[in-house]
Amino acid sequence: MAINRRSFLNAILGSGFVGWLGSIFYPVFSFLVPPKMPEANVQSVNAGLINDIPLNSSQILKFGRTPVLLVRAQSGEFKALAATCTHLDCTVQYREDRQDIWCACHNGIYSLAGRNLAGPPPKPLSQYVVNIVDKEVVVSKPKQIG
């Protein structure tokens, strides 16, 4: 294929133009992506004295920026679960009357073990570990395996 002077110059100018566009938009798009913010690596949170937490109640604990739901069941047993609904990111709550975990946004229902029972949630809530140390309730992140 013969290349004449005009098409050669058009190709050079065209690629120059594309390069120019790239030099404008690359910094703009990079600017739009937020930088990664370091998050405090909280391994465990003290939820208070065991005697101060009534039966059939719940509270939300702050694991850095992550909410964790601590439930004390009617039986006295403690359960700690990620409080973020696996459906669309809302924060779940413990329903004392029905003794289950409920997401008000789209009516998702989980068992106290975190299993998704009804509604749209596709996955269970991840579990946290609860230990009683000197009458203090301590909630910790589950140990990563491997």
Partner 1 sequence: MLKKTMQKTYHWLDERFKITPLVEFMSHKQVPVHKHSLWYYMGGVALFLFVIQVVSGILLLLYYQPGIDSAFESVQFITTKVSFGWLFRSVHSWSANLMVFFVFVHMFSTFFTRTYKKPRELTWVTGSVLLLLSLFFGFSGYLLPWNELAFFATKVGTDIAGAIPFIGEPIKLLLRGGEGVTGATLSRFYAFHVALIPAAFTILLFLHLLFVQRQGMHEPEFFQKLPENKKRMMPFFPNFVLRDALLWLLVLNVILYLAVFFPWEIGVKADAFAPAPQGIKPEWFFMFMFQALKLLPAHIFLMEGEVFGILFFAIAGTVWFTVPFWSVFIKENLRLKLMKLFGIIVIAFILILTIWGYLD
Chain contacts with partner 1 (rule: CB under 8 A): 32-34, 37, 60, 62, 65, 67, 69, 83, 85, 87-93, 103-107, 116, 119-122
When the beta carbons of 89 and 134 are compared against partner 1, the nearer one is 89
Long-range CB contacts (within 8 A, 24+) of 16-25: none
The least CB distance from residue 13 to partner 1, in Å, is 28
**In three state form, how does the secondary structure of 5-24 look?**
HHHHHHHHHHHHHHHHHHHH
Query: 95: helix, coil or strand?
Result: strand
When the beta carbons of 84 and 137 are compared against partner 1, the nearer one is 84
When the beta carbons of 58 and 137 are compared against partner 1, the nearer one is 58
Q: Quote the CA–CA distance of 130 and 77 in Å, as a whole number.
A: 10
The least CB distance from residue 35 to partner 1, in Å, is 9
The least CB distance from residue 10 to partner 1, in Å, is 29
